[in-house]
Every structure is written in structure tokens, then in C-alpha cells.
Chains A and B, each alone.
Chain A
Amino acid sequence: MNTLKVLGDLYNSMFHNPIETNVYVEHQIWSKIRANVPDGYKIPDKKMMDIIAKFIEEGTSSDLSKL
């Protein structure tokens, strides 16, 4: 496979509140991904993040989660 590294910022549209990075990624892979993601697709999964934030707010036990 011919590789072409491009700046990851080209794919910022797939992330919530993207930041500028110095990360270089494989163009062939990430362009194919971006072409196929549905409109509005974002990482992280906001729905799940809101639920986890609520769990944290309610208070979760840390002892057992460290088992």
C-alpha cells in the first residue's frame, strides 16, 4: 500500500470540540472512513458520555470497580 501521511486535523469534523494536533495519520484509511461516516457522526459518543457523567454525579463505588 502506498502511504501518505496527512495531518489528523483534516478529520476534525468527526470529533466533538476538536483540538489542533500534531498527529499525522494515514490518508487512505482516514479519508475512506470520513467518506462513509453518516452526517452528524461524532466521537466520543455524547449519549453515553452524558449517561456516564450522570452516574459519576450520583456517586459510584470505587472499591468494587477496582477489583
Chain B
Amino acid sequence: MKILLATYWYIPHLGGVWPLMCQMKEKLEKLGHEVDIFGNTPDGLAYHIVNKNLVIKKEELIPLVHTQLNPAKEPVLHTDKRTFNLETDRYYMELAACYFGLSQYDIIHTQDVISTWCLSRVKPAHVPLFASVHGVLARETIQYFKYLNPHATIDEIKKTLYWKHYYTLDKMGTHSADLIHTSSQWTHDIFIQDYQVPKERVVKFQYGIDIPAFLNQMEQPTDIQAPKGRKVIIFTGRLVDIKGVHILLPALSLLKGKRSDWECWIVGDGVMKDVLIQKTEEYGISDHVKFLGRRNDVPALLKKSDIFVIPSLQDNMPLSLIEAQLAGKAIICSDAGGLPEMVQHGVTGLVAGAGQERPLFLHLLSLLENDDLRIRLSSSVKKWALKFWSVDLMTERILAIYKQLLSRSLRKE
């Protein structure tokens, strides 16, 4: 089979989708399939087929598209600058897909709603379109607005063109694929209930990870050393509002008031980095919190840590949590989105209310105070994770879906 994995987002990028796409490519190619990966370039100036180094620069498309879509002719498109930018960037994706040619593929497997809607508009009718959707854009938009303006109500946010645009993209995207894959019950239910996607067009199964490779990476050297006599609390992920690091910092400040035998490593990068560093200083916890930036040795850093914390305000099935579970860390997660499906409170970790600093602080305190609890949670999560996150199982399921969609498409012909 010749497969196209596609995303509207920048690739390579921070976050879990890119590693997931790479892993799928590797696994599918080991089974004899051919896989291309298509998406925005990291600088956003072009689209590319990453593995073949094929590029089409947007500057080749912009002059004609902008001229044909001028404000006098398309006033609706120009109502809002962000809407205009996103819409035109979608057209560049569609044109880029036509430039590279979609008829060479047996199946297209998208990783977000925007690329799903784009490619549904330009793909040959006989090529099946399967979409793994890793989040809900309209809900992320609410969190984004809430972060910018904590007093904004959900009703006010839902009246903005920005939110309505993203809601429409979610809806168009989820309705335009032949089949939608979700990894959590949370997204599964949202697509069926809020977006009215027919039940029979949504499948749910968990992601997978190459466990032996991850365990091997844990054993690799790192230049970061755990401090003597202090437990290490680690966060890994993008430094963006929905990951909730701004909620973790006040919890750490409360923790410092009780004990000082800990250090927190914030691993990752993102638009909030400077704000978070500044807040760390304001809370007076700079001596306990280290911002390590983007790192390539996350598995080795997890090995040196004791407690993994993920205080997301919205999340689906984050790779960072999967890795921490495989590393056998004591987990503290929020109850946002799909996270509580991944952690059984009191058995494989501790769950705190999203957006609340006090429960986070109390869980951190109890894991520092109670060695037995920390060790018990670590050991049971590792045992569970080693069975649950099999990449072979995920690949098997994906391939079964490809075959099912292909045979359906052949029957139609």
C-alpha cells in the first residue's frame, strides 16, 4: 500500500503528533508499505513531503490567490484577519496536495480536522480518507481565550468569529473523513454528541509506542543530574496555556511553604516560556524550578525523576504521559479531557481537578511525604503501561482499517 500521512500543523514540531507520525511510518514500512509525510514546514512558509524533501513555497501561490481573493471581490473572507489567514493557508494546502499529486496514494491518513477537510476537497474520489483526530480545536480556543481574558464567559467566547470558525473546521473535518479515529472516550463522545458524527463512522483505540526503543533511550546518558537529597518533579510538554504549567507554579509555591526537599524540571518550549519564568520568580521558587528547554533526552530525564506532573486544562492522550507511565513514575494528572481515562486515581496515579492549584499541591505533598504510596503507584503504572501501549497493536488496528476502507472503496468502483 502507498500511504500518505498528512497534517496541517508544522512538521517536524513540538508535541506528540510528529513522533506518532514518524513511528507509524517506521512500523508500516517495516511491514512493506510505502509512507509519505505531508504538512506545513516548521517556518510556515511552504508545504512539504518531509521524507522526500519535496517542497512548494507559498510565495509561488500567494500572489495569484490574494489577487483573486481581493477584499472588493471576497468581502466575507476579509472580515477578520485571522480567519483570512487560516482560510487562505488551507487553500495553499489544497493546492500543494494537488501539486504533489494525491492519485499516487492508496489511502490518505490525516492527523487533524483542517487537513482532513482540505484533502477531502482535492483527493480523487476513490482514495479513502481516514482521520486520526487528536484534539478538539473549538475547545482549545475556549481555553486560549480564558487564558487571555479570565473574565470572559464561555457564551461570550462562543459569539466570536474566531471560535465559530474553529467550531466549523472541527465539524467539517470530522464529517469529511470516511472514518474518524479517536484515542479517548472524551473525543469520541464530543464528535458524536456535539458534532453529530454518525456513531458508525467513529472508532476508538489507544495510541502505541515503541516500548523497547523507549526503554533503551531511558538508559542513555544525560548531562542533567538529579540533585542530592531532593526528589525530582518533572513536567514534559509544550509551554502553552492548555498544558496548565501556570497552574503548577502556584502549587509548587504552596509546596515550598511545607517542604524544600524537591526540585521541579520543566522540560519543553513554547510561547509561554518567558511568562512562566517570570512567574517562577514572582512566586519565589526560582531556586526550586529549572526550565530545561527543548531536550532530546526526555526518556533519560524521566529516569532521573520521581514524580511526573501533567496539569493540563485540556488534553486528549498526551505522549508525555504515556512516556512517564512507561518510565514508571508516580503520576499526578488533571482530570481534563482524556487524562482520567489514562490514570486510575489511587491505583496508577493521582488525579486532580483541572485548573486548581490546591489539589495539585496536596497530591505533590502526599507523594513526597509517603514513600510507600509513591513506590506503589510507580510500580503499578509501569506494569499496566508495558501491556497497554503496544505499538504493534496500534499498527495492526490501523492496517485493518486501511484494508477495510480500501475494500469498501473497491466495491464502490
Q: Are A19 and B91 in contact (CB under 8 A)?
A: no
Q: Does A4 interact with chain B (Cβ within 8 Å)?
A: no
Q: Does B33 interact with chain A (Cβ within 8 Å)?
A: no
Q: Does A60 interact with chain B (Cβ within 8 Å)?
A: yes
CB contacts (< 8 Å) of A67 on chain B: these are: 145, 148-149
Q: Does B177 interact with chain A (Cβ within 8 Å)?
A: no
Q: Are A44 and B63 in contact (CB under 8 A)?
A: no
| Interface size range of chain A in the complex | 35 or more
- Which of B68, B83, B121 is within 8 Å of A15, CB to CB? B68
Q: Are A48 and B60 in contact (CB under 8 A)?
A: no
- Which of B67, B82, B149, B165 is within 8 Å of A52, CB to CB? B165
A-B interface contact total, Cβ < 8 Å: 112
Tell me the smallest distance from the CB of B83 to a CB of chain A, in Å.
7
Tell me the smallest distance from the CB of B246 to a CB of chain A, in Å.
17
Please report which residues of chain A, range 22-53, place their CB below 8 angstroms from some CB of chain B when the two chains form the complex. Answer: 23, 25-26, 29-30, 32-34, 36-38, 41, 43-45, 47-49, 51-53
Q: Are B122 and A21 in contact (CB under 8 A)?
A: no
Tell me the smallest distance from the CB of A49 to a CB of chain B, in Å.
5
Size of the B side of the interface (Cβ < 8 Å), in residues, is 47
Known: A23-B64, A55-B164, A60-B161. A37 touches B91 (CB 8 A): no
- Which of A33, A49, A61 is within 8 Å of B156, CB to CB? A61
A29 and B101 CA atoms in complex are apart in Å by: 12
Q: Are A44 and B77 in contact (CB under 8 A)?
A: yes
A18 and B94 CA atoms in complex are apart in Å by: 18
Q: Does B69 interact with chain A (Cβ within 8 Å)?
A: yes
Q: Does B211 interact with chain A (Cβ within 8 Å)?
A: no
A30 and B62 CA atoms in complex are apart in Å by: 12
Q: Are A33 and B98 in contact (CB under 8 A)?
A: yes
Q: Are B87 and A48 in contact (CB under 8 A)?
A: yes
Chain B's closest residue to A15 (CB) is B68
A40 and B180 CA atoms in complex are apart in Å by: 26
Q: Are B149 and A53 in contact (CB under 8 A)?
A: no
A61 and B80 CA atoms in complex are apart in Å by: 11
Q: Does B160 interact with chain A (Cβ within 8 Å)?
A: yes
Q: Are B168 and A51 in contact (CB under 8 A)?
A: yes
Known: A38-B124, A56-B79. A49 touches B74 (CB 8 A): yes
CB contacts (< 8 Å) of B99 on chain A: these are: 29, 32-33, 36
Q: Are A60 and B159 in contact (CB under 8 A)?
A: yes
Q: Does B347 interact with chain A (Cβ within 8 Å)?
A: no
Q: Does B90 interact with chain A (Cβ within 8 Å)?
A: yes
Q: Are B122 and A37 in contact (CB under 8 A)?
A: yes
CB contacts (< 8 Å) of A38 on chain B: these are: 121-125
Q: Are B102 and A36 in contact (CB under 8 A)?
A: yes
A45 and B93 CA atoms in complex are apart in Å by: 13
Q: Are A52 and B79 in contact (CB under 8 A)?
A: yes
Known: A41-B122, A52-B83. A61 touches B74 (CB 8 A): no
Q: Which residue among B56, B60, B99, B165 has the maximum number of chain A CB atoms within 10 Å of its CB?
A: B99
Q: Does B95 interact with chain A (Cβ within 8 Å)?
A: yes
Please report which residues of chain B, range 101-153, place their CB below 8 angstroms from some CB of chain A when the two chains form the complex. Answer: 101-103, 121-125, 145, 148-149, 152
What are 14 A-B interface contacts by the 8 Å CB criterion?
A: A8-B67, A25-B60, A29-B99, A33-B95, A36-B122, A38-B121, A41-B121, A44-B91, A47-B172, A52-B83, A60-B164, A64-B157, A65-B80, A67-B145
Q: List 7 additional A-B contacts (Cβ < 8 Å) besides A17-B73, A29-B61, A36-B103.
A: A25-B64, A43-B69, A49-B74, A55-B165, A56-B79, A67-B145, A67-B148
